[in-house]
């Protein structure tokens, strides 16, 4: 009954020697009911409490003679109050031989506000509803009740067996904002000599008067004397500044070198007249280099390979980029083999770009 008028009644006939009235308890407007058994006033069913408790024994009478009885609950004087009703528990003859069990609740931690739920006395093998916890603990939140074996949520029904028991509150730590200060000292790495210089590219095709940049990487990155010195073997073909920016000056081939602490790496620069220099043109440059090497050192070890690539080039514009890259790889391997044979790779008068 959400709002009583004072005229409400509940009446129930039962057979046995006792009866309990089961109802929730709460604060605020929750009121009380007068109880009559066999038309005689027997007491009060009080549903008011400081905290919400489900399925509580709000009235009990267990010393009746065995037989049929009538219980009546009335809302006399409770106009405007609120009552909720759950059930009756009827006790038959012999119930007094069933032991009573005391159920208590331990907060485990010292509360910052509120207190533990009140203890309950119930008959063995009967059920209770685990109460909500109105207590608060700083930096923690209530997570349930532990019976020693398992954690149960509040408002869950629990069957009590045959011995007194205590439920212990389980608390979970809430998120906290912790501010701490520390001092971190970062020492520079120990000095180390440069062991390698590497360029991002080993071949560049550049239109005359255009510019492009090369990036050099020093190993280890914290090495000493890692300032890069840039140089070019033919400044009439190409120029390079202190930042690795290359400018095409005249049609031809030049080699740009980056040096640091005696370590170096080089890149071939082909300067051309035409704007649209394709991968096919680059293949022609590298193929000519190989042919020049073979002619200079009087070897025919690569004649078959040269013929194969020249045949491929007959496809003209239909030549695929993958075929170009594969052919350039073959030429690079051929050049590497010449190096292994100890041949001098310097071609000072090559004129294969006409």
Which tens digit of pLDDT belongs to each residue from 151-191?
999 988 888 887 889 999 999 998 766 677 888 887 766 66
Strand partners, 145: 152, 169
Instruction: Over range 46-63, report the average pLDDT.
Output: 84
% of the chain with per-residue pLDDT over 70: 73
Residues 119 and 154 in one domain: yes
CA 185 – CA 297 distance, rounded (Å): 61
Residues 261 and 298 in one domain: no
Instruction: Over range 32-57, report the average pLDDT.
Output: 87
- pLDDT(351) > 50: no
Residues 91 and 30 in one domain: yes
Report pLDDT for 323.
57
Report pLDDT for 189.
63
Instruction: Over range 220-234, report the average pLDDT.
Output: 80
Quick check: is 348 in a domain?
A: no
Banded model confidence at residue 347, pLDDT cuts 50, 70, 90: very low
- pLDDT(98) > 50: yes
Residues 15 and 87 in one domain: yes
CA 40 – CA 224 distance, rounded (Å): 105
Query: How many domains does the chain fold into?
Result: 4
Backbone angles phi and psi of 3, in degrees to 5: -140, 110
Residues 86 and 155 in one domain: no
CB-side neighbour CA atoms (13 Å) of 169: 23
Residues 205 and 244 in one domain: yes
Give the end of a domain, one of 272, 306, 324. 272
Give the end of a domain, one of 97, 120, 135. 97
CA 14 – CA 281 distance, rounded (Å): 108
- pLDDT(85) > 60: yes
Residues 199 and 139 in one domain: no
Domain that holds residue 331: 279-340
Quick check: is 186 in a domain?
A: no
Give the end of a domain, one of 225, 248, 272. 272
Quick check: is 293 in a domain?
A: yes
Residues 89 and 105 in one domain: no
Report pLDDT for 203.
82
Report pLDDT for 77.
81
Q: The domain that contains 113 carries what CATH number?
A: 2.60.40.4270
CA 305 – CA 328 distance, rounded (Å): 11
Quick check: is 181 in a domain?
A: no
Residues 249 and 291 in one domain: no
Quick check: is 167 in a domain?
A: yes
Among residues 4, 3, 2, 14, which one has the least CA distance to residue 72? Answer: 14
CA 147 – CA 161 distance, rounded (Å): 12
Residues 53 and 73 in one domain: yes
Report pLDDT for 336.
60
- pLDDT(235) > 80: yes
User: Token digits for 229?
Assistant: 């010195």
Mean predicted lDDT score pLDDT of the chain: 79
Q: How far is CA 257 from CA 155, 204, 284, 352, in A?
A: 81, 13, 23, 21
Residues 90 and 60 in one domain: yes
Give the pLDDT confidence of 260-306 residue by residue, as tens digits.
888 899 998 888 775 444 555 556 666 666 666 666 655 555 666 66
Quick check: is 26 in a domain?
A: yes
Helix (H) or strand (E) holding 121: strand 120-123
Quick check: is 182 in a domain?
A: no
The size of the chain, in residues, is 354
Q: Is the Cα dihedral 337, 342, 348, 351 positive or negative?
A: negative
Quick check: is 217 in a domain?
A: yes
Burial (CB count <10 Å: 0-12, 13-18, 19+), residue 260 = buried
Q: The domain that contains 240 carries what CATH number?
A: 2.60.40.1080
Among residues 70, 10, 1, which one has the least CA distance to residue 29? Answer: 1
Report pLDDT for 299.
57
């Amino acid at each position: 009954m959400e709002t009583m008028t004072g005229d409400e009644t509940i009446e129930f006939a039962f057979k046995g020697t006792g009866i309990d009235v089961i109802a929730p308890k709460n604060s605020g407007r929750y009121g009380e009911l007068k109880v009559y058994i066999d038309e005689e006033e027997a007491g009060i069913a009080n549903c008011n409490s400081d905290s919400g408790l489900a399925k509580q024994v709000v009235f009990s009478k267990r010393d009746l003679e065995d037989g049929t009885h009538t219980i009546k609950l009335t809302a006399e004087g409770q106009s405007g109050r609120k009552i909720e009703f759950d059930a009756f528990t009827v006790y038959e003859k012999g119930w007094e031989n069933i032991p009573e069990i005391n159920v208590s609740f331990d907060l485990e931690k010292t509360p910052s506000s509120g207190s533990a739920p009140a203890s309950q006395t119930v008959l063995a093998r009967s059920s209770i509803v685990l109460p909500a916890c109105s207590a608060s603990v700083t930096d923690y939140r209530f997570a349930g009740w532990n019976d020693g074996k398992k954690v149960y949520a509040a408002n869950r029904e629990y069957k009590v067996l045959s011995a007194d028991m205590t439920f212990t509150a389980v608390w979970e730590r809430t998120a906290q904002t912790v501010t701490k200060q520390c001092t971190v000292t970062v020492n520079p790495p120990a000095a180390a000599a440069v062991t390698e210089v590497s360029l991002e590219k080993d071949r560049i095709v550049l239109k005359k008067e255009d510019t492009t940049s090369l990036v050099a990487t020093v190993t280890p990155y914290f090495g000493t004397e890692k300032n890069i010195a840039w140089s070019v073997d033919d400044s009439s073909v190409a120029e390079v500044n202190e930042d690795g920016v290359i400018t095409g000056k005249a049609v031809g081939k030049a080699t740009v070198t980056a040096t640091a602490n005696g370590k170096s790496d080089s890149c071939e620069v082909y300067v051309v007249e035409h704007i649209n220099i394709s991968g096919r043109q680059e293949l022609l440059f590298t193929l000519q280099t190989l042919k020049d090497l073979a002619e200079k050192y009087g070897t025919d070890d690569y004649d078959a390979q040269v013929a194969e690539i020249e045949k491929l080039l007959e496809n003209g514009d239909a030549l695929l980029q993958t075929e170009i890259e594969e052919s350039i790889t073959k030429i690079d391997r051929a050049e590497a083999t010449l190096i292994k044979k100890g041949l001098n790779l310097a071609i000072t008068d090559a004129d294969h770009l006409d």
